[in-house]
A and B are shown apart, each in its own frame.
Chain A
């Protein structure tokens, strides 16, 4: 596969590994947060950590939209199908995430709710057209990469007068989250939980460009390297962060030049701006309320806003007691620090979203890195873990 295979080549990996080992100064450690779940997945799936010297650490960030969606919003989505009888459409990633009482979309579907998995918002429009007498709601999640397809669908629905279609909008923004993490006192300069630099998201940046990271990089004096999606991109980007740190620089650099430009995709940005606008604040799982970090549907498209069309119960569902997802999402703790990891909380029986999403740090650790020392050996399977607090 062109543009894919070349960026996974073992010989180039060795080449980059040598370069990193040569440039990483032995006297210090380098803690690099990869913001995006896709990078977390690539690191684990290819074993990139094995090619790093011991003083270079990847800190897993909250860039997994599945992981940061609060339980309450997932409960709301289920409510749309169960209480309001709508056909609820969702991307595959959300289907197994546990909401309150550890019910998931998949479980609700098994109990009779009409919940369907789709690949594209175009499929959502088709289902709405094919079911004119039913309400069809698209569960919109994702960062800036996934937002334009939702905007396209809403514009198209408006043009077609597809009155039974609406969107439950949960799209979130990356630079706001990065800023929020860096502003947190847990990440002060000296602490063990400090973050030295960032690997910026690949495909979010293809839409928003590299420009939005310049302000956080300047303000917090941390290097940000926009990293491509393949493991070699991750490695080359880590090298670029290490170089910046060694040279005392804190700039935004673009490693993913084959896709990302400073300005991004103007057409997609305009589309999103037409349909969606900033929420004052939005609750992120693990990060709490973050101002100007999420989007809602504009008044002019209110007819397609599920939050206006349906009466949805606001709730504040809590995480399972003992679940460290919030700290793990902020990069303050590791999966091994969580008492529930590998004991009660496993992919079969996930307590929190970090274990369910294939990009969540806990799932990645469990699925791909269990051969490392110190990971718990599961006992005979327990029936169930604890219910919500």
Chain B
């Protein structure tokens, strides 16, 4: 990682250890330039950034591009297994990867709250650089704004990602068809529970860490094995239940899954029991759901299991014809129920 020497001299260096974000850092003037040079550019480096412009000027990629944008407002900002920065990079990498695309470039926008410690911001930037490197993407341009104390939650991050879709790959809800196998690459609920364990008044101790990870490598392996894959989606906010329901409605099909086939870590299950939550509704940040032609399901499963991020991959169900677009589940008891699409965020319950 090249450390850039700041080009503009300041009378005093930015005090990253003890300093805090100030309104001037967002003003577009020298203070802002110093924040970029002495904090962000110590971690972020790319051909685009080195152009020192308000935009990155890049060669046009060959083929169809996939572009996606996300805003990240997670609280707490640091949680077991990650932080808002890692979440932002991996989140957008994954959104692009769900098109089957190879992610290439990321833009990053920060909204910082006045008073936020620079030491923590530095940690976040370092984490983003590490995540970008791991995913093989370049952060090519960015923006920084500052809001008054009390008007933000420390840090908000927006990211936009661009990638290139290989020829012959078409991953869309419309391609989901009755008979398709439904697969997932691993256990559900890890991220959401890791976050909850730090929330005030719900604190509990556990070894659960967020599953936050970039999935583009796994996706590439999956597409190489099954180029005719129908659809991919990552079950982030709203969990598996949201993804299955959204896609059932979008593709006008129904789905049937088997509760016993869905991987869940025992700790996650226990946390959900304690709080009265359903794992199906809880966010994941390193998982994808795949819809695959029936005859290719076993081959796809084998490829997923061979990849570090798919060691616990499983076939969890199948797509069926259903004009009501219901998602049903065979329960562990042997009965059946609908997996509902929640209106909003699930709240812990006492009853």
Q: Which A residues contact B (CB, under 8 angstroms)?
A: 1, 4, 8, 10, 13-14, 37-38, 41, 44-51, 64-66, 91-93, 95-96, 117-120, 123, 142, 146, 231-232, 346-348, 357-359, 366-371, 377
Contacts and interface: CB of A to CB of B under 8 A. Distances in A.
Contacts of A119: 201-202, 275, 348
Q: Which of B202, B328, B350 has the most CB of A within 10 A?
A: B350
A13 B333 CA distance: 6
Interchain residue pairs A-B with the least CB separation, the first 6: A47-B335, A50-B335, A92-B347, A367-B340, A368-B337, A348-B343
Contact of B347 (A13, A65, A96, A142): A96
B328 A91 contact: no
Contacts of A359: 351
A96 B347 CA distance: 9
A347 B342 contact: yes
B270 A1 contact: yes
Contacts of B333: 8, 10, 13, 46-48, 51, 231-232
A330 to B, nearest CB: 19
A258 to B, nearest CB: 17
B351 A37 contact: yes
A45 B334 CA distance: 11
Contacts of A366: 340
Interface string B10-37: 0000000000000000000000000000
Contacts of B334: 10, 13-14, 47, 50-51
Contacts of A49: 335
Contacts of A91: 349-350
Interface string B269-280: 110010110000
Contacts of B275: 119
A371 B348 contact: no
B151 interface: no
B47 interface: no
Given A93-B349, A232-B333, A358-B349, 20 more contacts: A1-B266, A1-B269, A10-B334, A13-B333, A13-B335, A37-B351, A38-B351, A46-B332, A47-B334, A50-B335, A92-B349, A93-B347, A93-B350, A118-B201, A142-B351, A348-B343, A368-B338, A370-B338, A371-B324, A377-B324
Nearest to B274: A119
B134 interface: no
Nearest to B344: A96
A14 B333 CA distance: 8
A347 B340 CA distance: 10
Given A359-B351, A370-B324, A120 B201 contact: yes
B96 interface: no
B326 interface: yes
Contacts of B331: 45-47
Contacts of A8: 332-333
A65 B201 contact: no
A142 B351 CA distance: 8
B338 A48 contact: no
B347 A117 contact: yes
Nearest to B276: A92
B338 A142 contact: no
A47 B330 CA distance: 8
Contacts of A370: 324, 326, 338, 340
Contacts of A123: 201
B336 interface: yes
Contacts of B348: 92, 117, 119
Contact of B338 (A4, A14, A41, A369): A369
Contacts of A371: 324, 326, 328, 336-338
22 contacts: A4-B273, A8-B333, A10-B334, A45-B337, A46-B337, A47-B331, A48-B333, A51-B335, A65-B351, A92-B348, A96-B344, A119-B201, A120-B201, A142-B351, A347-B340, A348-B343, A368-B337, A368-B338, A368-B340, A369-B337, A370-B324, A370-B338
Contacts of B337: 44-47, 368-369, 371
B267 to A, nearest CB: 10
Interface in B79-138: none
Q: Which of A49, A117, A146 has the most CB of B within 10 A?
A: A117
Q: Which of B202, B273, B333 has the most CB of A within 10 A?
A: B333
Contacts of A14: 334
Q: Which of B202, B335, B347, B349 has the most CB of A within 10 A?
A: B335
Q: Which of A123, A231, A371, A377 has the most CB of B within 10 A?
A: A371
Nearest to A124: B201
